[in-house]
Structure 1
Amino acid sequence: MYIDQINNKKFNFILYLPIPLVFLGLIVMNYFATEDVNVEEMMQLMIDKLGTNLTFALMVGQLAVCCVILLFWVKFIHGQSIRSLTTSRKKVDWKRIFFSFTLWGTFTTITTLILFYLSPESFEINYDPIKFFPFLIIALLLIPLQTSFEEYFFRGYLLQGIGVVTKSRLIPLIITSITFGVMHIANPEVGKLGPIIMVYYIGTGFFLGIVTLMDEGLELALGFHAANNLIGALLVTADWTAFQTHSILKDVSEPSADYDVLFPVLVIFPILLFIFGKKYKWTNWKDKLTGKVHEYKPENEVINTIGNHD
């Protein structure tokens, strides 16, 4: 239903194309621009010149602006309500967003504390209230917009658009999950940890795509992604990560990645799917993940769809 609700005669493929072409084009350009550059050194030069907080704000702020542009395009160019881009429900379920945020935020905090307890030599106390609280304000303002853009673009705009064009649920799930992972290919983590980290990025894309299709909306994905980036940025930073922040802790260990990157993809994410599935009583998994997208028939539905502005 999340995809079906925009599958009608008002869907304009020509108007749909500019956003993904421009954004995906920028990803390709960014990748080739950084291919022969030491990203870690480039980041350090920016921090030395502008400061950590301003560098962070500029990096995250780009995607925050993209979020505003995307929502403007959807609402005023497509004439589609933001609600229908977010959910198939009559209104956005904020309880779902907060539940997902709290669940993953709590898990992230607990695991970070356990790692700090088990391996204190791998961390430094980085907390400086004079630097932390300005960063906290920047993070609270920008990170939810940054993560919302990624969700609205990949699990919203692309998932719905490709689903309408292909009349499939599985094809957009595969395409958006892989492109979500590829978007992170220029991150310094990839150069430091190696290509195996892409398993985590693409696996996360599949997890969030499955959540969106099964729950018929973006709410759980929005909450998870916001918690992942916000809580992570506030708790731990490192010299080799995409987010270098005035966080509470700094990871000073030598980074490495092996098959342990499979653990969240093969263990943690399935557990989360089980929790979400039980709580929200998900059924009919096969049809929701691999079935066909049906033509929207308003006489058979009770929700407002594209063309009804919220």
Structure 2
Amino acid sequence: MYIAQAYRGLSDSWRYVIGLLVVFFVWQFIGGIPLIIALLVKADSLAVLGSGDIGVMADILGANTLLFLMLLTFVIGLIGLFAYVSLVHKQKITQLTTSRKKIDFKRVFFAFIIWALISTAFIFVDIMLSPENYEFNFNLEPFLILALIAVLMIPLQTSMEEYYMRGYMMQGLGIMAKNRWVPLFVTSLLFGIMHVFNPEVAKMGYGILIFYIGTGLFLGIITLMDEGLELALGFHAANNLTAALLVTADWTAFQTNSLYRDVSDPVLGWDVLVPVFVIYPILLFIFSKKYKWTDWKERLTGDVPSEETFLALNSDNADVQDPS
């Protein structure tokens, strides 16, 4: 009953419609003010920001400074989202996160560790198979600064995306549509569209959206099956953190002082399709066995109860327990 947790606060449709717009404005515009100021000071012009050229901005500000300011937009957005949910919806952050009585950090860490290991293995296997595509990029001082920024802020960046898409938007769409399949597919599609302006798309074409939409669908499935965001929070943090620390390239959204630099001319290949069609299904199997998921059809496509039904079933206002 993760979606129905919205009923524990004020769940009027207009609160969600306004909230999605307000939080997006705080995230994208107010959150971007520090970056705009830094570019004005260093470059005396915002033309570079309008061009969207991450490489040029990194040259002007420095890779670590640019990364910090980019991640700061998400931190400000996350603060804005939590404030809106608390003040306007009167909903607890725990109820936005999970159907359990409290956030299960063991689930967060399990998903983080398993995906960090898998994604790291993929990266180093590719380096061993195609060494000509990589340059060793390690420089101690910039890397240590990168590590500090990444460890502290990337989990906040990924949490903003998860709370906004798989949390706030999924709960809002779910209680408006009164089912689970609409928020699952809408949030997955929007997650892909949200990345359409990434430099990776410009370099490899729109086919890479298969990866983004597929990843959004995977994250939506584990959220609904597990009745909470914990697994999605851990997975997403591991994905972005390993990418930022291990490999960078001139055509990626994260251009960092990482261990390696990818100097190849990127093409849409197996590395995009294998995670979606092979690795994600395996992870779903692992999660389903560990957390004893059942009744997949109902959890992914079934109806969301009305507010009256949900509150009647939970008249003592006790949070829904996870049977596992």
TM over 0.5: yes
1:234 to 245, 252, 256: 245
2:322 maps to none
Other-structure match for 2:137 = 126
Residue 17 of structure 2 corresponds to which residue in structure 1?
A: 17
Could you say which residue in structure 2 is the equivalent of 1:291?
Answer: 302
Q: Are 1:7 and 1:294, in contact at CA under 8 Å, matched by a contact in 2?
A: no
**Higher mean displacement: 45-54 or 9-18:** 9-18
143 and 304 in structure 1: CA distance in 2 versus 1, 3 angstrom threshold = farther
Query: Residue by residue, what CA displacement relative to the aligned partner does 1:103-142 show, whole Å, maximum 9, x if unpaired?
Result: 0000011111111111111111111111000111111121
Aligned length: 301
SS at match of 2:119: helix
- SS in structure 1 at match of 2:135: strand
One-letter amino acid matched to 1:247 = S
CA distance in 1, matches of 2:303, 2:238: 32
Counterpart Cα distance in 2 of 1:110 and 1:94: 24
Residues 193-212 of structure 1: matches in 2 within 5 Å?
Answer: 193-212=204-223
On the 8 A contact 1:3/1:293 being kept in 2, the answer is yes
Q: Of the candidates 114, 124, 145, which is equivalent to residue 113 of structure 1? A: 124
- SS of residue matched to 1:237: strand
For residues 179-232 of structure 1, the C-alpha deviation after alignment (integer angstroms, 9 at most, x for no partner) is: 011000000000001010011101111000000000000000000000000111
Normalising by structure 2, we get a TM-score of 0.87
CA distance in 2, matches of 1:196, 1:24: 26
CA distance in 2 between partners of 1:9 and 1:75 (Å): 9
Is contact 2:27-2:77 (8 Å) kept?
Answer: no
Residues in 1 aligned to 2:8 and 2:259: alpha-carbon distance in whole angstroms: 49
Structure 1: distance between partners of 2:101 and 2:28: 37
Query: Residues 233-290 of structure 1, C-alpha deviation per residue, up to 9 Å, x if partnerless?
Result: 1011001100000111111111111465222111111111011001000000000000
2:170 is matched with which residue?
Answer: 159
Is 1:264 aligned with 2:280? Answer: no
Residue of structure 1 equivalent to 2:184? 173
Is 1:45 matched up with 2:56? yes
Q: Residues 246, 28 of structure 1: CA spacing in aligned structure 2 closer, same or farther, 3 A cutoff? A: closer
Q: Which runs of 5+ in 2 are unaligned?
A: 33-45, 320-324
- Shift in alpha-carbon separation, 1:303–1:9, aligned structure 2, 3 A: closer
| Cα distance between partner residues in 2 of 1:294 and 1:253 | 51
Distance in 2 (CA, whole Å) between partners of 1:54 and 1:288 is 43
In structure 1, distance between residues paired with 2:76 and 2:26:
14
Distance in 2, matches of 1:179 and 1:221, equals: 16
Residue 25 to residue 275, structure 1, CA distance change in 2 (3 Å): same
- Retained in 2: the 8 A contact 1:52–1:244? yes
Q: Distance in 2 between matches of 1:261 and 1:10?
A: 40
Identity of aligned residues (%): 49
The residue aligned with 1:300 is 313
Distance 2:268 2:26 in 1: 28
